[in-house]
Amino acid sequence: MGKSVLSSNMRNLDHSALCHVHSRPHASRDLVYHHHHHHDDALSPLLSFLPKPPDPADRQMAPASPPPPPPPHSPLPKRQKPNPASPSQEEAAPTAAAAASAMSSSAVTTTLTTTTQPALLVKKLSERAQLPTRGSAFAAGYDLYASRETVVPARGKVLVETDISMAVPEGTYGRIAPRSGLASKHMIDTGAGVIDADYRGQVKVLLFNHGEKDFEVKLGDRVAQLVLERIYTPEVVEVQELEESVRGAGGFGSTG
């Protein structure tokens, strides 16, 4: 009789303890073992079914979770952000522009150098001599100056000295032409005015006076002008016949 009462009381106690534990799912492990301590090993069969709390040591030794798998490869290329120009590249741009500008300037200089006309070389033979000059930027001729005084008689002629010698550029010759002012006002003309490229003597001007009065030439007067003209000097070849032309042998006013 006593054993049955004790067994009934133990079942009631175990059921009460089990209900107490399940009614507090978040109760600490210490509380559970507190009941176990008072009731000896009566609750051990029940406590064996309860999950044990994780051990801190086990928590530290737990392996890290594996990284997520990489995304599947996309056949489309990834967009890349434009790379801003570095300071060195920005500095190189003006340098390249400066180099291009320098090359252009060099090309212009080369062009000007190759197209520059050869110089007219002039030597003064006395202190009275003056270098030839042009009256304007687009004047065709160079004015020639008298180096001493002289007189051109009426209906006569005279050689006027200039006290200069020159070397005209190769491929040209110097033609001494009259000045329009002397021709229109005083009827003064020039003649025999060819200066060859290999002539190195003094340049003299042959003046003709077609007027009725003597013409006086003073020191430093402009008496003529020098015009440089290009020439072509081909080789002379003798032939038996010449090609016929429309004009033929007509000359001396034959064309009117």
Residue 212 domain flag: yes
Residue 178 domain flag: yes
d(CA 234, CA 212): 44
pLDDT score of 117: 83
Residue 185 domain flag: yes
pLDDT digits (tens, 9 = 90+) for 161-201: 999 999 999 999 999 999 999 999 999 999 989 999 999 99
Per-residue pLDDT band for 247 (boundaries 50, 70, 90) equals confident
Residue 83 domain flag: no
* Residue 143 pLDDT exceeds 90: yes
Q: How many domains does the chain have?
A: 1
Task: Give this prediction's pTM.
Answer: 0.55
SS3 67: coil
CATH number at residue 144: 2.70.40.10
Percent of the chain with pLDDT over 70: 55
Residue 47 domain flag: no
Residue 144 domain flag: yes
CB 161 within 8 A of CB 144: no
Q: Of the ranges 124-128, 177-181, 248-252, which one carries the lowest mean pLDDT score? A: 248-252
Per-residue pLDDT band for 249 (boundaries 50, 70, 90) equals confident
Look at 253 and 9; give whichever has higher pLDDT.
253
Look at 78 and 222; give whichever has higher pLDDT.
222
* First vs last C-alpha separation in the chain: 176
Residue 10 domain flag: no
pLDDT digits (tens, 9 = 90+) for 206-242: 999 999 999 999 999 999 999 999 999 999 999 999 9
* Residue 4 pLDDT exceeds 70: no
- The per-residue pLDDT of the chain, averaged, comes to 77
Which residues form the domain of 191?
A: 121-230
d(CA 151, CA 219): 11
Residue 196 domain flag: yes
- For the beta sheet containing 121-124, the strands, ordered from the edge strand earlier in sequence to the opposite edge, are 121-124, 157-167, 202-209, 188-191
